[in-house]
Chain A
C-alpha cells in the first residue's frame, strides 16, 4: 500500500473493513520514512517504539472515527508530551515537553498515531529550511531544491508519501509557501481559529497552526478536528466552528474572484504566472467570474512584517535563558550564563531577528519603527476588508517562484524575506488562506493561493475542492 493512493476516508474504510491493520499502516509509514528520509530529511525525531505500541493497542479496539489509527507527523515547534521538541534549535536539543499542545490533545482523543517530529527552520524563522540547526530538509520533487519553510519538513513528508497528513505553523507563509514548493495542500486558518496553546511562540499576533495534506478534502477533515475555542489560549476565537466538510463537492457558479494586480506583477516568474492564469480560466469554466483589483499597500507588507514579527520574537524568545529548560552554557555570573547559553544556542537567523526586534522596540526607535509598522498593518488589513466586501475570494500565486536551489539565497537575508511577499500580508490581516497545487513550472510545483474573509475557511475549501475535482494536479507524485 502507498499513502499516495489513499485519503483519510479511504484509509478509514480499509481499517474498518480489516483490509489493513493499524500496525501495518504505522509500519508502512516508518518504512517509507526509512526509504526516503536520507534524501529529504523531513523528520528530526521518530517515535517508532511508542507509535507501534499504540498501533497494536488500537488494533484491539473499534475504529470509531475517521482519524482512528491514522499516522501523522507534527512540526517540531508543537509540544508533544514526552517526545523531544527542538524547534529546529540546538538550544532545545534536549527538551522533552511535560504537556501536550491543545492540537495534540484534539488529535490524541481521536487516536491519531504520532510517528515523529518534523524538520523546520529554527524557531520557524526562515523560508527554505536551511535555518534548521540539524540538517536542511530537501524538496521531494528535486532534492537539489529547498522544500520551503519554515514548515519544510511538514510539507516534504506529505509530498514524499511518508504520512497522510502533518501539522505546520504559519507566521508569514510557513505553511502555504512549503505547501506550494512541495505540491501539497496547506491551509493557514483565520487567526484565532486554532488554539496556539503549546505552539512555541514566534510572533504571537501572527502565528497559526494549520494542516498540510495531499488533498483538499483531507485538509478540511483535519481543520475540523483541530479548530475551536480553547480556554488555554485567550486569543482563540470564542465562536462556533463551521462545518468544513459540507463545503466540499459544491458548485462554484457565481463565485466572485478578485485578482490583485500586485500579485501577478513584477517579480513573479512567467511559469508561475502562466499556471495561475490557467487556474483562473478553469475556475471561469466552472462558473466563477473575476476582476482585477488592487491591494495598494501590499508592497509595504514585508517591511512591516519583519519589524513586527521580529519585535514579538525578541520578547517571546527571551524565555530561552539556560535556566528552566534547554541547553545551558555556564558563565561567570548569571548575566554571563544567559548570554553564553543564548549566543551558543541560537543560530544566526534567530539572532538576527532578535537583534532587529530588540532594536525596533528600544527606546528612541519604538515610534519610528514598531508603532509605524503597526499602523501600516492597519492599512494592509483595510485593503483586504475593502476588496473582500465585494468579492468571495482573492486569488494569486502563493509564492512568486518555484522552489529555489539549496544555497541560492542563504547569504542574503533581505532577498530571502522578499520571497514571502504574497503570503505575509495575509498574516498581517489575519485572514484565512490556502495553497493548492496548480501544476508545474520547469518540473517544480506551483501553488495557487486563495484568500477569504476571516472565518470563511468554508469558502476556501469549496473553491479549492471544485478546482481540485476539475484538475489532476494533486494526483501527480514525485519520483523518490
Chain B
C-alpha cells in the first residue's frame, strides 16, 4: 500500500488552493494512494537513457513582430469579473 499520508494530502490541498473537510481528506488520501500505487507500474520500465517528451511537436521560440494591434477593451475584460471597482478587478485587502 502507498506512502501517501493525510498530512501530505493536506499540504497538497493547500498548494492547490483547495480546502476539504476531514472526511474528504480521508477519502482523497485513500483514492490518491490507489492512483499513485497504480502509477508505480511505470517503475517496471528502465528509462535511464530515455529523453522525456514535453511536447510532441518540435516547435520552439515561436516569435512574432511586436506590432500594436487592437486588444480587449477594459470594459470587456472586466465583463465577467465577480467584483470590480474603478476599472479594476476587486479583491479583499492583501495588506494590513
B-binding residues in A (CB < 8 A): 94-96, 98-99, 191-192, 205, 231, 234-235, 237, 297, 299-300, 303-304, 306-307, 314, 318, 321-328, 330-335, 337-340, 342-343, 346, 351-352, 354-356, 358-359, 362, 369, 371-379, 381, 413-414, 417, 428-430, 454
Contacts and interface: CB of A to CB of B under 8 A. Distances in A.
A378 B53 CA distance: 5
B94 interface: yes
B68 interface: no
The interface residues of chain B, by DSSP majority, are classed as: loop
Contacts of B1: none
A331 B91 CA distance: 10
Nearest to B39: A303
A104 B62 CA distance: 23
A300 B41 CA distance: 7
Contact of A377 (B31, B34, B53, B93): B53
Contacts of B43: 372
Interface string B1-34: 0001000110111011111100000001001101
Contacts of B64: 231
27 contacts: A98-B76, A98-B79, A235-B55, A297-B45, A300-B41, A303-B42, A304-B42, A318-B17, A322-B82, A324-B80, A325-B81, A331-B92, A333-B92, A337-B91, A337-B92, A342-B16, A346-B18, A351-B18, A355-B9, A355-B13, A358-B16, A359-B4, A359-B32, A375-B51, A378-B47, A381-B53, A417-B35
Contacts of B56: 191-192, 205, 381, 429-430, 454
B12 A192 contact: no
* Secondary structure call for the A interface: helix
A226 B53 CA distance: 27
Given A300-B41, A323-B81, A371 B52 contact: yes
Nearest to A325: B80
Nearest to A82: B79
A321 B17 contact: yes
B42 A95 contact: no
Contact of A300 (B16, B32, B45): B45
A334 B57 contact: no
Interface of B: 4, 8-9, 11-13, 15-20, 28, 31-32, 34-36, 38-39, 41-45, 47, 50-57, 59, 62, 64, 72, 76-77, 79-83, 89, 91-94
Contacts of B13: 355
Nearest to B29: A355
A323 B47 contact: no
Contacts of B59: 192, 234-235
Nearest to A430: B56
Given A323-B82, A372-B47, A343 B20 contact: yes
B19 A340 contact: yes
A205 B17 contact: no
A97 B23 CA distance: 36
A355 B38 contact: no
B28 A235 contact: no
A323 B92 CA distance: 10
Contacts of A413: 31, 34-35
Contact of B18 (A327, A355, A362): A355
B52 A378 contact: yes
B47 to A, nearest CB: 4
